[in-house]
């Protein structure tokens, strides 16, 4: 739709093209960029998924993208973090055997999914979401606990920040955050762009914020 400027942040890794295609299906145009002027002029910013926490942060810090993201957040403009794009928003991540400092907008750490019941990494496939409380937010319009979303990850957000709204998913009896909402920040551990109609609905909700 004309008038809405959507920037998919390019930090050298990610699934930019599939997100851009999903946005196009919904009738919007978007750009993939890490140019400061493109980010600053955007109405909405998307942090894509797929890749290594450490590599993503190295690129982001090297190109000062951390400040662009934080400035965007502080201006109260909507940000969507997808999978890795969600994880880098936290304080740190342990992927790769070393602790890497994250953006720190969200409180918590990214750690490996515990190896319970001979769990085989990564967590791949379709899972439901669990609403533990009634969360009223237009980002969730039309989304219920019957919707299925597509996950690909070996790490999860270890957080219990009571200032965030958290919706969970399960691997057997292990529970992990799958949607996090904090002020103007929206984040999903799953890939909405790969999650059929339910994922497109969630993306559409974000684009309509």
Which helix (H) or strand (E) segment is 84 a member of? Answer: helix 84-87
Residue 153 annotated in active site: no
pLDDT digits (tens, 9 = 90+) for 70-88: 999 999 999 999 999 999 9
Annotated catalytic residue, options 7, 95, 153, 191: 191
124 strand-pairing partners: 152
pLDDT tens digits, residue range 172-193?
Answer: 889 999 999 999 999 999 999 9
* Active site annotation includes 94: no
The pTM assigned to this predicted structure is 0.96
What pLDDT does 173 receive?
Answer: 87
- Distance between CA 110 and CA 152 in Å, rounded? 15
State yes or no: is 175 an active-site residue. Answer: no
State the catalytic residue, choosing from 83, 95, 153, 204. 83
Catalytic residue of the set 7, 95, 153, 193: 193
Q: Is 182 helix (H, G, I), strand (E, B) or coil?
A: strand
What pLDDT shows up at residue 116? 82
């Amino acid at each position: 739709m004309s008038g809405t400027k959507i920037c998919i942040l390019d930090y050298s890794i990610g699934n930019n093209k599939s997100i851009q295609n999903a946005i196009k299906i919904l009738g919007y145009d978007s750009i993939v960029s890490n140019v400061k002027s493109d980010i600053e002029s955007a109405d909405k910013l998307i942090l894509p998924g797929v890749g290594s926490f450490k590599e993503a942060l190295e690129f982001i810090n090297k190109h000062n993208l951390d400040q662009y993201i934080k400035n965007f957040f502080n201006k109260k403009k909507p940000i969507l973090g997808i999978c890795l794009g969600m994880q880098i928003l936290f304080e740190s991540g342990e992927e790769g055997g070393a602790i890497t400092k994250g953006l720190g907008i969200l409180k918590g750490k990214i750690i490996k999914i515990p190896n319970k019941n001979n769990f085989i990494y990564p967590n791949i496939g379709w899972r439901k979401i669990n609403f533990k409380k009634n969360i009223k937010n237009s980002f969730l319009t039309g989304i219920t606990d019957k919707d299925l979303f597509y996950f690909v990850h070996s790490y999860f957000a270890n957080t219990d920040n009571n200032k965030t709204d958290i919706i969970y998913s399960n691997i057997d009896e292990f529970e992990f955050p799958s949607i996090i909402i904090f002020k103007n920040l929206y984040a999903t551990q799953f890939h909405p762009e790969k999650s059929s109609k339910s994922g497109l609905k969630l993306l559409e909700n974000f684009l309509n914020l």
